[in-house]
Structure 1
Amino acid sequence: MIRIDFDALNPLERKIHATLKAESEGVEAIPIAEAARLCSCSPSKISKFSKKLGFNSYRQYLDFLYDRVAPEVVQTSELARLAHFIEGFDNSKVDALVELIGTHDKLMLLGYGPSFHCAEYFEYRLKTCTGKMVVAVADELLATSMTDENTLLLVLTVTGSFKPFDDVYHDTVEKGGEMALIVEEYNPDLIERYGKVFCLTDQVQCSELQPFEKNRTVLFIFLEEVVRKLMRPPR
């Protein structure tokens, strides 16, 4: 799973990203040694920065930087895709979302089409295990009308390509709330546009399927693990 979190970066790490992004506009590749020279730091610092941002390696960070499809992204059979996801399941992503949920009193779950029905299901599940106000919505205007400084807006999506989230993101931030995307398939176009993005897999479903035709199995598995963690009694 890939979880991209620009909010986790300190000012120096944000400067590293800005430097490498600017450099990438003029050259076709930036070896890690060259990245270290440009940023006046060590190669190990560049590697740690890439992993802190949420990537598995500096190479995967470069794929994002150059807007390339990561070489790990492959189309495979659905059972093989699910097996790959489960085999590489990273509980630290569950812990990160549980911690994020714990810092807000109100949860909004936004989904379009079939993803809204996922949101409805997890509205019930999260209510029973958190005691918080949890509301599932299928419309961004309704979501932002109910948002305040205590709100965490969780957007559930498979590809993130059906409809942009820019307006709801900016409206949520302006009201003092926070938004995080939970995206089943790795989509580099989303990563830098929003503050927190949880990319659950580095594989994709059949390319012949439209977003509304794709299943939400990985979303369910991940969020059920979040619910299970939330249901544990505090130590």
Structure 2
Amino acid sequence: MGLLIIRLIVFLNGQISETTNHHIALTMLSNYQAIHQLSIGEVAKLCDVSKSTISKFARTLGFDDYLDLKDNAAFVENRFNNPLNYISNIITLMEEDGYDHYFDSILKDINYFKENIDLSTIDRFAKAIYGHKQVVALGAVFSQSAALDFQLKLAYNGKFITTFQNDLAQDAFLRDATEETLIIVFTNSGDYLTKQQIRTGTPKKNSFSQTKAKVIVLSANPEVLTLPFVSDAIIFPHQTNYQTHAVMFQIITDLIIARYRYLNKGSE
């Protein structure tokens, strides 16, 4: 999934429908397959606005100009040769192997985690959340969905944390975060910690290595524990080719919140 489509979706989710920018974003998404071939004038005509308005909108999304936006518009599945992408890893395998194999793979990962779970890591995560006033949950694309879900689950239990869907807002926060901040990262592969996953060429990411905040991670990749800026991690190794992290994140966060609830009740 490309950078432009993600920024457009995130932008739309935070806008009311009567604005000009909402109209531009919706028009671009409705005509997304053609954007990478259209000039700024053609897009302006499509949106029924001026070229200067399109240029301003591109900067609003965090691009240098319309050409930068256009460069990030081409949607090619697995354009970065990532075998773990959603279509190749989940949908294509489901089509090839059938639904039963998909269900069996999920159950296999759940059972493995159940049998090998280190409850002390769950306890440490809950205590870290309980002990920090400022807590932020971060991830990219589907992992960001887990961060949003975690935010709502904790709110139900009286703990209010922050998350950012916008990738630029995430980087800006990491730069300014202090030692008093706890950052919980959701990343199946671990690449989110070191790479700009949704940017062309997946350039190196330095924001985590430079942040002052405490960083703890939920990941299927045990190598995240070797990163010097990672303080702790809950690891859930996959037992099949399916990347079941969307399901595993839900289970693990439920366990963390159950323990947090216990700690919070004990302080009352």
TM-score under structure 2 length normalisation: 0.49
2:225 to 169, 173, 191: 191
The reply to whether residue 121 of structure 1 matches residue 160 of structure 2 is no
The reply to whether residue 203 of structure 1 matches residue 238 of structure 2 is yes
**CA distance 1:155–1:230, shift in 2 (3 Å):** same
Conservation of the 8 A alpha-carbon contact between 1:110 and 1:143 = no
**CA distance 1:187–1:108, shift in 2 (3 Å):** same
Conservation of the 8 A alpha-carbon contact between 1:180 and 1:195 = yes
Shift of 1:204: 4.4
Conservation of the 8 A alpha-carbon contact between 2:143 and 2:246 = yes
Query: RMSD in angstroms over aligned alpha carbons?
Result: 2.5
Conservation of the 8 A alpha-carbon contact between 1:130 and 1:230 = no
Shift of 1:119: 0.6
Matches within 5 A, 1:10-89: 77-89=105-117
Shift of 1:82: 1.4
Runs of 4+ aligned residues of structure 1 deviating over 4 Å after TM superposition are none
2:184 to 154, 172, 181: 154
**CA distance 1:131–1:79, shift in 2 (3 Å):** closer
1:178 to 189, 193, 214: 214
Conservation of the 8 A alpha-carbon contact between 1:159 and 1:187 = no
1:218 to 248, 261, 265: 248
SS in 2 for 1:234: helix
> 2:179 & 2:109 partners in 1: Cα distance?
38
Question: Identity of paired residues, percent?
Answer: 16
Report the residue type matching 2:151 in the other structure: E
Report the residue type matching 1:121 in the other structure: D
> 1:81 & 1:146 partners in 2: Cα distance?
37
Matched with 1:229 is 259
TM-score under structure 1 length normalisation: 0.55
> 2:106 & 2:164 partners in 1: Cα distance?
28
The reply to whether residue 136 of structure 1 matches residue 168 of structure 2 is no
Shift of 1:125: 1.3
Residues 9-31 of structure 1, C-alpha deviation per residue, up to 9 Å, x if partnerless?
xxxxxxxxxxxxxxxxxxxxxxx
> 1:203 & 1:92 partners in 2: Cα distance?
20
Conservation of the 8 A alpha-carbon contact between 2:222 and 2:235 = no
Show structure 1 runs of 5+ residues with no match: 1-75
Normalized per residue, the structure richer in helix is 2
Query: For this pair of structures, how many residues does the alignment match?
Result: 149
Conservation of the 8 A alpha-carbon contact between 1:186 and 1:199 = no
Conservation of the 8 A alpha-carbon contact between 1:110 and 1:154 = yes
Between the two structures, name the one with larger relative contact order (CA 8 Å, sep ≥ 6): 1
Conservation of the 8 A alpha-carbon contact between 2:147 and 2:163 = yes
> 1:167 & 1:99 partners in 2: Cα distance?
28
**Greater C-alpha radius of gyration:** 2
Conservation of the 8 A alpha-carbon contact between 1:115 and 1:157 = yes
Show structure 2 runs of 5+ residues with no match: 1-103, 196-204
**CA distance 1:145–1:130, shift in 2 (3 Å):** farther
